[in-house]
Amino acid sequence: MNEGEGEKLMALGIIFGETSTREFYFLFGDADGQRQNQLKFAYVQVNLQEEGRIVVASVVDVNTDNPLLAKDTAKFYSEAEGTGITLPDLMSRRFTLYQAKCEVIGIYDSERKEINPLTQPIRPGEKVELLSEEVLNELFSENVPWHLRLGYVETPGIQTQAQVSLNADSILTMHASVFGMTGMGKTTTTAVLLEELMFRGAKTIVFDPHADYVNLDQMRQGLYEDHFQERVENDLDLKKKISEYRDYMKERWGDKVTPWNDFDLSYNGFESVDSPAELTDKNIFYRWLNFCVIKDRNLMIDFARTSNDLDTQLDNVISRIRELNLGEEVPNELVGRRLAIKFKAFPTIQVYEGKSPYFTMRLIEAIAGEGFTEAQEGYMIEWLTTLPQNDLADRNLLNHLDTRADRMPLVNNRPNSSQAPLKRIINRANRTTNSLIARGCKSLDVTQFVNDFCENTGKLSKVTTAIFDLSDLENDHARRALIYAVMEFAFDRYKSKHLRMGENAHPVLFALEEARTLIPRQEESSTTGEMHPATRAARLAARQIATEGRKMGLGMLVISQKPAAVDPLTVSQANTMILHRVINPDDQAYIRTVSESLSNENLNTLKTVDAGVAIVTGNALKTSEMSPLVKIRDRYSEPGTPKPSPIQTLWEERS
């Protein structure tokens, strides 16, 4: 149903029994047994005498009762051989009461479009109605460009068109998390968030262990072919508009697209200078589709939902794209941006200008997987501050340090006790970097990357999303070393005010997929029983941004299938949580401790929600007092690594 259309509200039942400002019960009829399936998790309203004011509540449970089939009548039915079998069936139909328990959310004021606390209980006998889609949209969705289109209010058995949006600035600056079991939709939800942020102007750095998001800048091939390609091919005006936009982008990007800092050209979507992947017809259309949805929420289509008027919706999108005037409707800064740049990288091991030698030592420790003792640090500080030349990096630097260790003077005619462990750590780091290079990873100068991506005038300023594909980094320690290097360096640059949001730098969101492996709560301890140096470093960087980054414009998006396994301090700072199915008791208990707004009913619901459905709670919601059940829209971007299906593949090849 479109906004502004009238709708008949469904009368559900009558309030009975004791009521309070927190909850009430109502009786409803259910002759065909369908109403029970549709009521739980639904939103309802009770009209007040004041015009334009209604009490809004959510149905948290439904139950039945039949006084003639109570426990104290069980003896009669068990002893009456014939009658005892037939009477209960008759009486269960005629005398069964259907009850719904509701939690009060508050009073909705239609003029002010806001929810206020209920201060007086509702009178028994009042009618209860299904909450209108118009009010649901007002409560959960804002039709402005800085609100992300997440999905639809989920009510089992009823497919609503009421949308749920999230404030992009709240996600960007106040942190968020996405949790859920494997296969429940966590990756799709994250992709939707990243897509929405990408087209609205957010700058995001994604750490992607399984290459799930490396195609964020590409529209799903099947989506385009099934629904849009024929319409585009048959529309000469639209084809001309696409061609003109492509020429404009080439001119804006320059005649020759060069790789950033010698990173692989083809991996960053520019295998052809004449026709970069982002400038194919499909991906230009992808941009326009998102720009149109940003301007008008009614154009959002969830292709995973069946719809009788899909053709009409598709025609409306095409019509709006024809009318789209990018120069007037979209900020000029966003019209010509590159959507994404991708890296397979490890942090360059070097002494960074403006950073102490301790930063370099932490990198070596993390990559080697072994920490320095206090005595060993003393030698490393001396060696790192007296380098023969400042540009020594990676193998050259490590080889130099190894040579310095070889030359350590004897102590009482014996080798220095620090010599062997120093050489072991240095050589481990050297072997790891050599292995990473052999896997196709490149050394990333963290200074250049942070400055170029974050500064308003940086070489990567016009790139929206930087995606670190961690799938080829051979272990979690190397991944954590990269996270430490990038996040700690960025934090230091913003905290020292070398970079200032709104003056010379962009706000930046860091997205950590599989956070349980990147910033874990507990570490698979080394033989000493101490936390692994890579874990310690990555958690330090994440905690700094989680606790201090907001005012600087640094935010975090934490994603994990095991919330209880993620660093608790980092997660506790997330002001918005998107929760798919979670059934593990430890995870449930953990979510309870870090989320103040989730009720016991919400937590119980988490055990049974369907795939693709999530409970959303927090400040990014338009009405943060509520925690709606949301059917997340399908992603528009091409998925990354496909879900493995070896048995299906085997049989399909056989046939």
Whether residue 26 is contained in a domain is answered as yes
Question: What span, in angstroms and rounded, lies between the C-alpha atoms of 570 and 153?
Answer: 29
pLDDT at 3: 44
Query: At residue 647, does pLDDT exceed 90?
Result: no
| DSSP code per residue over 477-527 | HHHHHHHHHHHHHHHHHHHTTSS-BTTTB--EEEEETTHHHHSBSS----T
Same domain, 126 and 227: no
Dihedral, 342, 345, 347, 349 alpha carbons, nearest 10: -140
Same domain, 123 and 229: no
Q: Out of 24-38, 167-181, 331-345, 577-591, which region has the weakest mean confidence (pLDDT)? A: 24-38
* pLDDT tens figures, 388-436: 988 899 999 999 999 999 999 999 889 999 999 999 999 999 999 999 9
Domain boundary residue among 302, 322, 343?
A: 343
pLDDT at 6: 42
Q: Which two tokens stand for residue 256?
A: 């020759």
Query: At residue 528, does pLDDT exceed 60?
Result: no
Whether residue 179 is contained in a domain is answered as no
Whether residue 421 is contained in a domain is answered as no
How does the average pLDDT of the chain come out, rounded? 89
Mean local confidence (pLDDT), 130-134: 91
pLDDT at 270: 59
CB neighbour burial string for 543-559, b if at least 16 within 10 angstroms, e if fewer: bbbbeebbebbbbbbbb
Domain boundary residue among 343, 378, 412?
A: 343
Half-sphere exposure of 192 (CA within 13 A, CB side): 25
Query: At residue 70, does pLDDT exceed 70?
Result: no
Same domain, 127 and 239: no
Predicted confidence band of residue 625 (pLDDT cuts 50, 70, 90): confident
Whether residue 64 is contained in a domain is answered as yes
Our count of domains for the chain comes to 2
Beta-bridge partner residues of 555: 509
The DSSP code for 260 is G
User: What backbone phi and psi angles, to 5 degrees, belong to 42?
Assistant: -75, 160
pLDDT at 250: 84
Mean local confidence (pLDDT), 454-474: 92
Q: Which two tokens stand for residue 535?
A: 């874990």
Query: Which helix (H) or strand (E) is 191 found in, with range?
Result: helix 186-200
Residue with tokens 């907001």: 550
Whether residue 18 is contained in a domain is answered as yes
User: What backbone phi and psi angles, to 5 degrees, belong to 502?
Assistant: 85, -10
Question: What span, in angstroms and rounded, lies between the C-alpha atoms of 128 and 15?
Answer: 7
Task: Round to the nearest angstrom and report the end-to-end CA distance of the chain.
Answer: 45
Query: At residue 156, does pLDDT exceed 80?
Result: no
Instruction: Name 122's Cβ contacts closer than 8 Å, sequence gap at least 6.
Output: 15, 19, 24, 46, 55
Domain boundary residue among 310, 343, 376?
A: 343
pLDDT at 493: 97
Mean local confidence (pLDDT), 573-591: 94
Sign of CA dihedral 275, 277, 280, 286: negative
The DSSP code for 118 is -
Whether residue 286 is contained in a domain is answered as yes
Query: At residue 526, does pLDDT exceed 70?
Result: no
What domain range includes position 302? 223-343
Whether residue 166 is contained in a domain is answered as no
Whether residue 275 is contained in a domain is answered as yes
Instruction: Kindly state the percentage of the chain with pLDDT values over 70.
Output: 88
Mean local confidence (pLDDT), 70-82: 60
The DSSP code for 273 is S
Sign of CA dihedral 466, 472, 478, 479: positive
Question: What span, in angstroms and rounded, lies between the C-alpha atoms of 600 and 579?
Answer: 14
pLDDT at 4: 42
Mean local confidence (pLDDT), 505-520: 96
Instruction: Kindly state the percentage of the chain with pLDDT values over 90.
Output: 69
